[in-house]
Amino acid sequence: MNILVINCGSSSLKYQLINSDTEQWIAKGLCERIGIDGSQIVYQKAGGDKEVTVSPMPDHTEAIRLVLEALTNDKTGAIKSLSEIDAVGHRVVHGGEKFSSSTVITPEVIEAIKECNDLAPLHNPANLIGIDACAKLMPGVPMVAVFDTAFHQTMPAEAYMYGLPYSYYEKYKIRRYGFHGTSHSFVSKKMAEDMGKKPEDLKLIICHLGNGASVSAVKNGKCVDTSMGLTPLEGLIMGTRSGDIDPAIMEFIAHKENKSIDEVMTLLNKKSGVYGLSGDLSSDFRDLEDAYNEGNEKAIIAVKTFSYRVAKYVGAYTAAMNGVDGIAFTAGVGENCGLVRKLVCEYLGYLGVKLDEAANSKRGEDTVISTPDSKVCVMFIPTNEELAIARETLALTK
Ligand code: ADP
């Protein structure tokens, strides 16, 4: 089967066409600046070069029309006609408490996703537009929604409740949900497989460290805690997000800098994290690592504070699970930045973690970076959210 995976953001759209038999992508790319001047589509067929075409995209429907046109293009298309697309898998950011697993999209499911819009006002509406556009352009092709929050729905109440009046949970569903669930699920299964064990027999901590970053505790194959909350702002220090702070800081900054609550939120989401900590140097760890090695003080603080926060969550989640068998690093920083992995592992000696420095300097496929006598297995494992979405879509539509 050929499965089209769609990940719609507010002004962008990532896509991959995946052959579910080989689990390889046969074409992929992205549309950028949807609804903004200068929109363009990037398209790449397996084995081919990236093609960039500037083309107006007033909305997501036009973006998806261009994606389908590129996929079926006479010369460079990966398929001959749309009939070769058997199903579509959509990433949906927030499934609230309604969705604890992926689901085939029906009119009722669309209504239920809309009801979660309040919880993810930037993301869910974009995801719904993508679903609507595909339904229009590929009528009759089955579609599946795969939620970022679903994997975390197994968290117990003591992990997901905030210390706020209970009525806010009842009235507004204010609680912790967690995100990156598709990645945490994929990587935890992969780690169990790599360790030659069943997920049911393991306590794993997954550190998804990308631009957005989160940690999860996965006990016996089920998520029992994760660091993001009602929104992706909670938890780790990220590329530009603050992560956990004293909530009173918001009022303090608002007064001192004469900012509105919306302006403070923008500051915490877009100007903070390692970007803000490094004195606006960069949110990209490639730049930060270079500056760290050159002795740039703010870059050193940024990288160390980021790593320390990860190590604290690993400690907390070891306590939550009463032990840990494996720790996995994934996503852009987790897969590529040996410096961060080393700094995190330096705090974990009390767990019996021993890092193999030579293995830690490697890149590429799943790699064990702990020594054979380390009490806890530590690995980096490339995540593949698109493949995970394709697998879920296949399971529900074949
Ligand atoms: P997201 O999907 O959240 O945008 P990614 O998982 O793609 O994020 O991670 C992107 C980040 O990964 C970059 O901003 C950069 O900080 C980091 N990164 C990517 N490649 C490297 C590398 N070779 N060395 C260090 N960090 C890297």
What pLDDT, on a 0 to 100 scale, did the predictor assign at position 122? 82
What pLDDT, on a 0 to 100 scale, did the predictor assign at position 289? 98
- The pLDDT tens digits for 203-253 are 999 999 999 999 999 999 999 999 999 999 999 999 999 999 999 999 999
Ligand 1, residue 331: give the atom nearest the CA. Answer: 6
214 lines ligand 1 (CB under 6 A): no
Q: State the distance from the centre of ligand 1 to the C-alpha of 333, rounded, in angstroms.
A: 5
80 lines ligand 1 (CB under 6 A): no
Nearest partner of 193 among 377, 363, 358, 324, judged by Cα: 377
- The pLDDT tens digits for 108-139 are 999 999 999 988 888 899 999 999 999 999 99
Same fold, 2-147 and 197-380: yes
Residue 179 confidence (pLDDT) above 90: yes
Contact 10, 123 (CB under 8 A): yes
Name the residue of 337, 344, 383, 384 to mutate for ligand 1: max ligand atoms within 8 A of Cβ: 337
Pairing mode, strands 326-330 and 203-209? parallel
If you take atom 3 of ligand 1, which residue's CA is the nearest one?
211
The domain segmentation of the chain, as residue ranges, is 2-147, 197-380
Contact 395, 8 (CB under 8 A): no
Active site residue 74: no
Ligand 1, residue 285: give the atom nearest the CA. Answer: 16
Q: Percentage of the chain with pLDDT > 70?
A: 100
Distance CA 339, CA 326 (A): 19
Structure-block tokens of residue 184: 């945490």
DSSP string, 148-209: SSGGGGG--HHHH--SS-HHHHHHH--S---S-HHHHHHHHHHHHHHTTS-GGG-EEEEEEE
Supply the mean pLDDT for the chain.
Answer: 97
212 lines ligand 1 (CB under 6 A): yes
Beta bridge partners of 368: 379
- The pLDDT tens digits for 34-78 are 999 999 999 999 999 999 999 999 999 999 999 999 999 999 999
Candidates 59, 74, 148, 280; catalytic one? 148
284 lines ligand 1 (CB under 6 A): yes
Nearest partner of 180 among 328, 31, 285, 280, judged by Cα: 328
Question: Hey, what CATH class is 2-147 in?
Answer: alpha beta
- On whether the pTM is more than 0.85, the answer is yes
How is domain 197-380 classified at the CATH fold level? Answer: Nucleotidyltransferase; domain 5 (3.30.420)
If you take atom 23 of ligand 1, which residue's CA is the nearest one?
336
